[in-house]
Amino acid sequence: MKKTIAGLLASLMVVAALSGCGVSGNGSSGGNSAASSSSGSEKHTLAMSVPLTGTMMQYGTSYRNGAELAVADFNAAGGINGEDVVLAVYDDKGDQKEAINVANIIIENDDIFAVIGSYGSSVSMAAAPVYQEAGMPMISPNTSHPDYPDIGDMMIPMSCKSEVVFGEVGRTLAEEFGPCKMAVIYQNTDVGITTLEAVKEGFEGAGGTVCTTETFVPNQTKDYTPLLSSIKQTDPDILFMVAEYNDGASITLQAQQLGMDDVQLVGVGNLFKQEFLNLTGDKADGMLLMGISRIYTDEVMENSDFGAYTEDIVKRYNEKYASGGVAFDNFAAIAYDSAMVAMNAAKNAGTNDTQALVAQIKKLDIDLCAGQAYFAENGDLIREIFTFTVEDGKFVMK
Amino acid sequence: MNRLFEFCARNGWKITAVVLAAMIVFPFVVTSSYVLRIAITVLMYIMLSLSLNLLVGHLGLMSMGHAAFWGIGAYTAAILSTRFNVSSLGTFLAAMVIAGVFGMILGLPVLKLKGYYLTVVTLGFCEIIRLVELNSMNLTNGPLGISRIPSLNFFGVVFKSSRSVYFVALALVVLTVVVIYRIVNSRIGLAIMSIRDDDIAASSIGVNVFVYKVMVFIISGMIAGLAGAFYAHYISYIDPSGFTTGQSMDLVILAIFGGLGSIPGAILGAAVLTILPETMRALMEYRSLIYGIVIVIMMMVKPDGILGKVNFKYIRQRQQMEKASGKEGAQA
Amino acid sequence: MFLQQLINGITIGSTYALVAIGYSMVFGVLELINFANGSVYMLGAYITLMIYVNMLGNFWLSFALSLVLTGMVGYCIDRFGLRRLRSKNVPKVTGLITTLGISQVIEHGVRIFFGSETKAFPNMIDFGYVKVAGATIGSSQVIILCTSLVLMICVSLLVYKTKLGKAMLAVSQSSEASKLMGINVNGIISLTFILSSSLAAVAGTMVGMYYQNVDASMGFSVGMKTLASAVLGGVGVLPGAMVGGLLMGIFESLGASYVSSGYRDAISFAILIAVILVKPTGLFGHKQINKV
């Protein structure tokens, strides 16, 4: 009995090893074959390094779906001179070492012309030097780590640095609410810290005061009452949250429970999802959401004009992916844009000269469904800032 | 299976020489940078697995805090090389020293603890170190991590290509194996294993339990710190998320999978469990699920680890005795 | 504010206590730390939610079903994962690795089959708040504390006053001797697993109700903290586990508000380490007599 189990296990591992080695660039989807024959000089494969397992699985899935749709649309519109683009998705588990392994697989595949990845700055920063070294353009949908563009010219962030966005947000808040007290509760990640610094500078520069800050480690606890009680003691007028949507929802609910009804809640980027409202119910009413992300719920789409291009994409994405999954959100939007930008640049500038490819990508001269964006003189990405609020348990654009 | 072990025991040194030669020739034969970098990762995990095996397998103390020493070594190397431009030799030595000091800090108070009390204290230690790394912005840059760590740099020679880094890693692993082998096969090793089996009996025959326990903590911490310093220069970006208690648990699985208290077992376990997830990439989302199932099944099939109960020394001794008595039998 | 933090700490501590009892019980009979307990805690909450949302409309029925199903999962962990190891006389660490593997399987399985988003959880025990001496006490907090106390008392009664409990104590002292006495050791161990898994499921569901959301990673950090609580109180001692759980909750809450929110978990672990160093067998643990 034991020998048969051992034998089965060994043969399973051998089969896995053989299949893994044989198909070293796996998970292709969208479009038809034609990928491995890198005939001529045009490359046709767009790679993605995203977490498909692990704690960040939901975001990786949104990225993959967004990019899949983009690749399907692009191929339907003719592809690169008639040839289809193939999407090769790799799972990096949201882990740094995995991302580096994936990066090494990707740079060896001659047919890949660009890579979209990953979710989370610590993972992207770890893999970036590998791509830079190999001259592979890396488009990162949400890395806002300040050192990321400095790694090299192959790095293309699709998300703004915190100082660019949140200084402005802080100033706007000070102007709208007058010189008042703000408390900041932020997650202890690169996003949290850079956002805190930027908001603080903007807010205090325009006359407000940041009376207290509290930090937490994301995914370690659901109980924010000690932090909120400390904040309540300082009697702030605004409570600024930098958190993922699940922590943000817990903070919102617990703030209400503690009786902080008169404090204006302000949240940023990652809360811009329907899942956030699913968790808070109607307790988030009156909350302000400011950032570079947009919300694509039905109510917002009905009442605002994002343009026919965006509306069409949202509709088709929801038809294909929303049931049993997550509806179109900003993560999928930026992934869609990243893929489209890469593919269009490949079509226009060719894939042989990576410098030209990167320059073409950075022009961002196509329609973007996540909102207007452009690269400034100093290399920073600039995006418009959107403000949303919540009324009757639904998002409303301001 | 037994015949395979007997063959290995008889020709132990020859096999080691062949394997070493193969590993030296390896990067010249295989040019895929992906495979080479997997090999470098495997080498680093071998170092970690060996050092943890010394603690868990030979001394018998289940420690779930090993990732902390790895992290301490990595941060030491990162801070020294980015802020003070210390060359790699300096950072390696500093990382070993500081990780060793922390090994002593962990080892001294836990001497009286037994079993799972020790495990939980090491777990707490790992968590505390990680939170310190996360919160001390001035020292470690907190969650932003330390980026653009310079590559390996010995006496002015920069080791940038995968092949050169591979050789550095190989050298470190050979050094580690030699050190641990010498320790385990000496009086110190016997003393340590006697402490594992029964520390009261050991102290009653004059083994200084205190000194040996602390020594093992320090040595295993130093090796893990060395691996960390290598990791920092190799990856060039570190942040606290790579050194969590989850990582510690993965390291424990790595050390035990190949066989407790066995040097070839630790090497085999590290190699198999690092390479296996890579080969399973075809399974996409189900990869981590299957990995967990493989671990469970393997523990059911081979509970002592792959090479757990295999003691090559005894097999060799028995073979020598057979040979000797066989000669006598032939003569008689 | 101190009172408010104390109450928060006691609430979260009582859920830790329920899971910590599970660790202690399994350790008592098997001398094994069941790392899968944290994942089972999360699984219990998920099963309740999935049955409630997708099949029945009745929350309490879903809760009851979840207890049964989670208990069965606990039974399977023992029967298929650990029983073979017992009969083979293997080192203790093997069981540990098996439970680590199982916890990974459960966590990844939940993510794949139930989705990895954080899901909203209905709060069925929210009947309002009452203000006492400047602190707000919610009905959910009171109910959680009471449920935990009642369950703890029931478990203690079971273990210390019934024949079955005597059998469990006997097995934890010596399984060899128990076999000689005619006790079905494997049956008792399975029962222990079922009980500890059901308790974890109760704790998971209650925490889900209290915070109104669940996600697949809630098992890991809670698993670590409850393991620490069980050890703090003395491994194998049930009242110790309860006290340990409550204390960890209180330390965490007070530490986060009075010392530093960033070092929250570090503070509870630091206090834990300090206590264990002073008293190497935990607060209520028995001094182990080693015979050579």
Instruction: List, for residues C17-57, the tens digit of each pLDDT value.
Output: 989 988 888 888 888 888 899 999 999 999 999 888 887 77
**Residue pLDDT, tens place only, B68-113:** 999 999 999 999 999 888 888 899 999 999 999 999 999 888 888 8
Selected residues 87-146 of chain C with any CB under 8 Å from a CB in chain B: 88, 90-91, 93-94, 96-98, 100-105, 108-109, 112
**Which string of b and e fits B227-241 if b means at least 16 CB within 10 Å?**
bbbbbbbbbbbbbbb
The answer on pLDDT for A14 being more than 70 is no
Which candidate in B2, B4, B34 is best for mutational testing of the A interface (most A CBs within 10 A)? B34
* Tally of CA atoms within 13 A in the half-sphere of B125 that contains its CB: 28
Pairing of strands A86-91, C129-132: unpaired
- Whole-angstrom Cα distance, residue A128 to residue A122? 10
Q: Which sequence spans correspond to the domains of chain B? A: 14-244
Interatomic CA distance for residues B308 and B320, integer angstroms: 22
C228: closest CA among C50, C27, C52, C23? C23
In-domain check, residue C289? no
Number of folded domains in chain C? 1
Residues 119-148 of A with CB under 8 A from B: 122, 125-126, 128-129, 145-147
pLDDT on residue B231: 93
What residue numbers bound the domain in which C126 lies?
Answer: 2-278
C228 CB within 8 Å of a chain B CB: yes
Give the pLDDT of residue A184.
92
Integer distance in angstroms from the first to the last C-alpha of chain C?
53
Q: What is the pLDDT of residue C217?
A: 85
Instruction: Give the pLDDT confidence score for residue C291 in this predicted structure.
Output: 61
Asked if C98's CB is within 8 angstroms of B300's CB, the reply is yes
What local confidence, expressed as pLDDT, does residue B94 receive?
94
Interface contact B326, partner C, CB < 8 A: no
- Tell me, yes or no, if A53 comes closer than 8 A to chain C by beta carbon: yes
What is the DSSP-derived secondary structure letter of residue C287?
P
User: Which residues numbered 109-168 in C keep a CB inside 8 Å of some CB on A?
Assistant: 111-112, 115-120, 129, 136, 138
Interchain contact, C111 vs A223, CB within 8 Å: no
Element holding B58 (H helix, E strand): none
Residues from chain A that touch B38, judged by Cβ atoms under 8 A, are 101, 104
Is the minimum CB–CB distance between A52 and chain B shorter than 8 Å?
yes
Q: What is the pLDDT of residue A35?
A: 36
CA distance B89 to chain A (A): 23
Facing residue for C212 by CB, picked from A229, A253, A325: A253
Q: Which of C205, B127, C287 is nearest to A217 (CA)?
A: B127
For residue A282, count other CB atoms closer than 10 A to its CB.
11
Q: How confident is the model at residue A222 (pLDDT cuts 50, 70, 90)?
A: confident
Q: DSSP assignment, residue A85?
A: P
Chain A nearest-CA residue for B160: A133
Nearest CA-CA partner of B47 in B186, B218, B174, B153: B174
Bond before A118 cis per omega within 30 degrees:
yes
| Smallest CA–CA distance from A51 into chain C, residue | C116
What confidence score (pLDDT) does residue B331 get?
Answer: 62
Q: What is the pLDDT of residue C292?
A: 59
Task: Please tell me the distance from the alpha carbon of residue A355 to that of residue A360, in angstroms, as a whole number.
Answer: 9
User: Per the structure block, which two tokens stand in for C31?
Assistant: 């001398």
What CATH number matches the domain at A162-291, 1.20.1730.10, 3.40.50.2300, 3.30.910.20, 3.20.20.10? 3.40.50.2300
- Answer whether B98's CB lies under 8 Å from B224's CB: no
Contact B128/A at CB under 8 A: no
CA distance B269 to B310: 14
The minimum CA-CA distance between B10 and chain C, rounded to whole Å, is: 27
| Local structure of residue A259 (DSSP, 8 states) | T
Please check whether residue B131 touches A, CB under 8 A: yes
Q: Do C213 and A279 touch (CB under 8 A)?
A: yes
Q: Calculate mean pLDDT across residues B243-266.
A: 87
Chain center to CA of B41: 12
Interhelix angle for B245-257 vs C92-114, to 10°?
A: 130
- Burial letters for C231-244: b for 16+ Cβ neighbours within 10 Å, e otherwise? bbbbbbbbbbbbbb
pLDDT tops 60 at residue A31? no
Check CB contact under 8 Å for A249 and C5.
no
Spell out which residues of chain C touch residue A259, defining contact as CB-CB under 8 Å: 136
Task: List chain C residues with CB under 8 Å of A246.
Answer: 118, 213, 215
Q: Is the pLDDT of residue A57 over 80?
A: yes
Rg over alpha carbons for chain B, rounded to the nearest Å, is 21
- Report whether pLDDT(A357) > 70: yes
DSSP string over B238-283: E-GGGSSHHHHHHHHHHHHHT-TT-HHHHHHHHHHHHHHHHHGGGG
Cβ separation A222–C256 shorter than 8 A: no
B99, B82 Cβ separation under 8 angstroms:
no
| Contact predicate B293/C101, CB 8 Å | yes
A366 bridge partner residues: none
pLDDT at res. A20: 45
Strands A86-91 and A381-383: unpaired
Task: Determine what percent of chain B is predicted with pLDDT higher than 90.
Answer: 30
Q: Tell me, which fold does domain A24-160+328-383 have in CATH? A: Rossmann fold (3.40.50)
Instruction: For A351, list phi and psi in degrees, rounded to 5.
Output: -110, 10
Contacts of A217 in chain B (CB under 8 A): 131, 134
| Coil, helix or strand at residue A211 | strand
> Residue ranges of the domains in chain A?
24-160+328-383, 162-291
A11 has pLDDT over 90? no
Give B241's contacts in chain A (Cβ within 8 Å).
96, 122
Q: Which of A58, A249, A326 sits opposite C213 (nearest CB)?
A: A249
> CB distance C280–B109 less than 8 Å?
no
Q: What CATH number does residue C21 fall under?
A: 1.10.3470
Query: How many other C-beta atoms lie within 10 A of the C-beta of residue A173?
Result: 24
Interhelix angle A96-108/A121-134, nearest 10 degrees: 30
Interface confidence, given as ipTM, is: 0.88
Q: How far is the C-alpha of C264 from the C-alpha of A345, rounded, in Å?
A: 48
> Largest alpha-carbon pair distance within chain B?
79
Let me know if the fold of A24-160+328-383 is the same as that of A162-291: yes
Q: How many other CB atoms are found less than 10 A from the CB of residue B19?
A: 12
CA pair distance B106, B119, nearest whole angstrom: 12
Q: Do C227 and B200 touch (CB under 8 A)?
A: no
Is residue A138 classed as helix, strand or coil in its secondary structure?
A: strand
Interface of B with A in 19-58 (CB under 8 A): 32-34, 37-38, 41
Report yes or no on C292 lying in a domain.
Answer: no
The DSSP H or E segment spanning A238 is: strand A238-242
Q: What is the band of B200 on the pLDDT scale with cuts at 50, 70, 90?
A: confident
Q: What tokens does B133 get?
A: 């790394």
- Does A26 contact B284 at a Cβ distance shorter than 8 Å? yes
The span from the CA of B301 to the CA of B289, in Å, is 19
pLDDT in tens, A329-341: 888 999 999 999 9
pLDDT of residue B132: 92
Nearest to B68 by CA among B29, B17, B103: B103
Number of Cβ within 10 Å of residue A14's Cβ equals: 11
Q: Judging by DSSP bridges, how do beta strands A394-397 and A386-391 pair with one another?
A: antiparallel
pLDDT value for B222:
95
Q: Strand, helix or coil at A170?
A: helix
Decide: A87 and A46 in contact? Cβ < 8 Å: yes
Q: Give the pLDDT of residue C238.
A: 83
How far apart are the CA of C256 and the nearest CA of chain A, in angstroms? 6
| B72/B77 Cα distance (integer angstroms) | 9
Longest CA–CA separation in chain C, Å: 60
Asked if A217's CB is within 8 angstroms of B285's CB, the reply is no
Interface of B with C in 133-162 (CB under 8 A): 134-135
Which residues in chain C come in under a pLDDT of 50? none
Neighbours of B214 (CB within 10 A): 18
Tokens of residue A71, six digits: 């690749």
pLDDT band at A36 (very low <50, low <70, confident <90, very high): very low
Top-ranked range on mean pLDDT: pick from A2-6, A13-17, B225-229: B225-229
Contact status, residue B79 vs residue B138, Cβ threshold 8 Å: no
Chain-centre distance for alpha carbon C176: 27
State the pLDDT confidence band at B30, using cuts at 50, 70 and 90: confident
Q: Model confidence over B307-322: pLDDT tens digits?
A: 777 777 777 788 888 8
Considering only the beta carbons, identify the residue of B119, B120, B295 that sits closest to C97. B295
Which residues of chain B from 1 to 60 reach within 8 Å of chain C, CB to CB? 56
Distance CA A248, CA A228 (A): 12
